[in-house]
Structure 1
Amino acid sequence: MNWEQLLSLRRQGDNNKRLRNEQDETRLGFDVDYDRIIFSSAFRSLQDKTQVIPLSKTDFVHTRLTHSLEVSVVGRSLGRLAGKKIIEKHPYLQEVHGYKFNDIGAIVAAAALAHDIGNPPFGHSGEKAIGEYFKTGNGVRFKQQLSDVEYQDIIDFEGNANGFRLLTQNRAGVTGGLRLSNATLGAFMKYPKESLPKKPSDHICDKKFGFFQSEKLIFNDVAEDLGLPFRGSTNTISYGRHPLTFLVEAADDICYTIIDFEDGINLGLISEDYALEYLIKLVKDTINTKKYNSLEFMEDRLSYLRALAINTLIQDAVAIFIANEDSILNGTFDCSLMDKSKYKAQIEDIINLSIQNIYQAQEVVEKEIAGYTIISDILEVYIAALIGKKERNVSNYHKLILRTLPGPYRQTEGSIYEILLNTCSYVASLSDSAAVHIHTKIKGKQL
């Protein structure tokens, strides 16, 4: 891979290459990407989607929206720091093509902003709930009507693939979705492969999948424009990662490690003394003890340690990225940046404590259980209505149900796969509260 190609400003539908030297310096194409994501309805729905605690009623618990904004801020710092080193090492990028280190920060910030845009309500259990409906629930009846890879798409419904769909999906009059630059889409594509074969290797690229069959052609087009290395076969599609994806992933890893932990402390799920001890271990080389001891309130002590911890991990991640640039560019770097961190032991201690005290807390588990039922019931009702419409056997009840669907999700002219996937995408687009509200309505519990 080469940086000039990887920093492509081309957008879906472009006939000609977009040159960095011809960009308006007051609003670069990568800045346009960020703006388009911010103003999208899919991004707005993240304000009421679970990050850690589903349907939390407190003000200081993060949602997918606040998490995404924070990941974007960290990603921008990672991109700028790494970008400065990249430009120094490859001066032709600036001297010949006009790229600047802030461009790389803008790409990573935009991709990081969108990294959770395809995630369903109720956190990662929402993804599993959609898949389980088709794997063990009533949706299993469609298995014989789908190809193996189409069926795998929905039984392993993946927020990353749904995010790529939202960012690129063609609709009547709207070609190319948000029409982001290929550089930003490439940095967004965390797992550049289709759903089968499932986890064919231990390489980080193969951990999950990154696109549905419906976006296969678009995905291929982006990957080829960027010059991503092909890792598939004559029958399967798989590519190496865009190098900047490692920085997007690191931004997410840093934020959920430190900030989910902070949420647990604020909620009282982790004792302050115990938690601060874990954070101090992470920042022992940079902490100003005098300043720390002068902070009277827990919130200020926690804020100080959080800022130090994030900065410590940012510097470490950039150092790892630059040290491994060659293997990242040739596609042989096979793990996340934080897996190589010199702070890996401290990170694992924090994550393990978060798993035990936060992610497996009774409140979280109970709401995730409710989420399974809610998602399954909504899928059942809408799929039955849409299939009934396609087969011209729609009841009056189903006609009423269809009227509650937004226009793009009422279409039944496509295949069974397209109808099922479209319905899954609709359910994934719902906020936690919207899913609860719709479920209450269809169950007749609220008039």
Structure 2
Amino acid sequence: MNWEQLLSLKRFGDTNKRIRKEQDETRLGFEVDYDRIIFSSEFRSLQDKTQVIPLSKTDFVHTRLTHSLEVSVVGRSLGRKVGQRLIEKYPHLQKIHGYQANDFGAIVAAAALAHDIGNPPFGHSGEKAIGEFFKNGIGKHYKGDLTASEYQDLCDFEGNANGFKIVTENRVGRQGGLRLSYATLGAFMKYPKASLPKKPTPHIADKKYGFFQSDKDAFLDVAKDLGLAKRRQGELSFSRHPLAYLVEAADDICYTIIDFEDGINLGLIEEEFALEYLSRIIRDTIKPENYYALSHKKDRIGYLRALAIGSLIHECVDLFMAYEERILKGDFDCALLDKSKYDAQIRDIIKISVEKIYQSREVVEKEIAGYQVLSSLLEVFITALNNAHEDRASNYDNLILSLLPDHYKKMNATLYERLLSVCSYVSIMSDSYAILLFNKIRGIDLG
């Protein structure tokens, strides 16, 4: 792979040749991608989607929206710092092609901003709830009418693939989805492969999948334009865009450190753990007198968090440049933080977060409720849509379909497309709206 091709400013849905700058000189190049994402309705719904604690009533626990904003800030820093180093290494990128360090920052920031845009309500349990509906629930009886790949898409319903659908899907008045640059779409695709064959190899790109069968052509178009390297012949599996490693690093840094911070502020984790574990990461930058001078726990934890994020940003930049040539060859098979000298500390922090936060009673109870809500909504909408497709919709079905936005009413589509359409609709709901609609349909809340 080569940087000249990887930095494509061609916009998805356009037929023009690759260009370097937008017409609007006040928002240059890749910065437009960020704006288009942040003004999308799908991004706004993240304000009421779970990051750690579902339906939290406190004012400082992160939602998917605040998490995404923070990941984009960290991603911008990573991209700019890496951009500076790459331009020093490859001066022609600036002298001949006109790229600046800020371009790298803008690409990573935009991809990081969108990285959770396809995630369903109720956190990662929402993905599992949708998958379970088809794997072991009512949706299982559709298996015989779908191809193996189509069925796998549903059984392993993936927020990353759903995000790719959202940002690229054509709609009336929205040809080419959000019309993001190919470079940003490449950086967004952390798992550039299909759901099948499912090969749980140690390679980081095989951890999940990145596109639904319905979006295969769009994915191949992006991969071809960027020159992503094929990983395995005969399979839809490609090497990552190099900047996807920075998007992943930004996400890893934020959820490791900031979820830990949330747990401490909620009282689920003792403050002493923060000083014990984070101080190992920031031992070269922490000033104990500054820490102890802060009178509020929230401020003390914030101080440690800021130093830890800064330390990990600097290390990830060094790691990226150390492995940059392998990354371009497609030979780098793990996350950047897996190579961190703080790997043991990071794993300890994640272990504590799993035990104290993710497996806490409050989280588990609301995840259980999320399973009931999502499976019920899937059943009602899928039944109504399939009955309408077969011209046997009841009055109740028609009432249910009146709640479904026109874009998702794929009555004349294939079974797979109808099932996926309902899954996509349910996935863009916020936690609160999913519960509200669930209660209204069941006649519990008519207010």
Q: Secondary structure at the match of 1:243?
A: coil
Alpha-carbon contact 2:410-2:417 (below 8 Å) kept: no
Q: Which amino acid in 2 is paired with 1:431?
A: S
CA separation of 1:309 and 1:268: change in aligned 2, threshold 3 A: same
1:78 maps to which residue? 78
Matched ranges for 1:210-359 at <5 A = 210-234=210-234, 236-359=235-358
1:162 maps to which residue? 162
Alpha-carbon contact 2:385-2:401 (below 8 Å) kept: yes
| Cα deviation digits, residues 185-235 of structure 1 (max 9, x gap) | 00000000000011352211111000000110010000000000012333x
Q: Secondary structure at the match of 1:61?
A: coil
CA distance in 1, matches of 2:440, 2:334: 45
CA positional deviation for 1:25:
4.8
Unaligned runs of 5+ in 1: none
CA distance in 2, matches of 1:122, 1:58: 16
Unaligned runs of 5+ in 2: none
Instruction: Decide which moves more: 273-282 or 124-133.
Output: 273-282
Q: Secondary structure at the match of 1:433?
A: helix
| Cα deviation digits, residues 27-66 of structure 1 (max 9, x gap) | 1231110000000000000000000000111101000000
CA distance in 2, matches of 1:363, 1:179: 40
CA distance in 2, matches of 1:86, 1:296: 43
Alpha-carbon contact 2:9-2:21 (below 8 Å) kept: no
Say what the alpha-carbon RMSD is for the aligned residues: 1.1
2:368 maps to which residue? 369
1:149 aligns to 2:136 (yes or no):
no
CA distance in 2, matches of 1:171, 1:421: 16
| Cα deviation digits, residues 105-145 of structure 1 (max 9, x gap) | 00000000000000000000000000000010000111111
| Cα deviation digits, residues 294-331 of structure 1 (max 9, x gap) | 22221221111110000000000010000100000000
Alpha-carbon contact 1:9-1:17 (below 8 Å) kept: no
2:111 maps to which residue? 111
1:440 maps to which residue? 439
Alpha-carbon contact 1:49-1:121 (below 8 Å) kept: yes
1:422 maps to which residue? 421
Seq. identity, % = 67
1:63 aligns to 2:63 (yes or no):
yes
1:383 aligns to 2:399 (yes or no):
no
| Cα deviation digits, residues 346-373 of structure 1 (max 9, x gap) | 1111100000000000000000001001
Q: Secondary structure at the match of 1:29?
A: coil
CA separation of 1:99 and 1:141: change in aligned 2, threshold 3 A: same
1:134 maps to which residue? 134
Q: Secondary structure at the match of 2:243?
A: helix
Q: Which amino acid in 1 is paired with 2:390?
A: E
Q: Which amino acid in 2 is paired with 1:231?
A: R
Q: Secondary structure at the match of 1:53?
A: coil
Instruction: Decide which moves more: 406-415 or 32-41.
Output: 406-415
CA positional deviation for 1:23:
6.4
Matched ranges for 1:79-94 at <5 A = 79-94=79-94
Alpha-carbon contact 2:22-2:29 (below 8 Å) kept: no
Q: Which amino acid in 1 is paired with 2:49?
A: K
2:10 maps to which residue? 10
CA positional deviation for 1:18:
2.8
CA positional deviation for 1:153:
0.3
CA distance in 1, matches of 2:342, 2:26: 39
Q: Which amino acid in 1 is paired with 2:320?
A: F
TM-score normalised according to structure 2 size = 0.98
CA distance in 2, matches of 1:339, 1:77: 20
Alpha-carbon contact 2:50-2:63 (below 8 Å) kept: yes
Instruction: Decide which moves more: 10-19 or 393-402.
Output: 10-19
CA separation of 1:262 and 1:396: change in aligned 2, threshold 3 A: same
CA positional deviation for 1:442:
1.1
CA distance in 1, matches of 2:362, 2:118: 24
- Aligned length in residues: 446
Instruction: Decide which moves more: 418-427 or 278-287.
Output: 278-287
1:203 aligns to 2:210 (yes or no):
no
2:189 maps to which residue? 189
Alpha-carbon contact 1:119-1:127 (below 8 Å) kept: yes
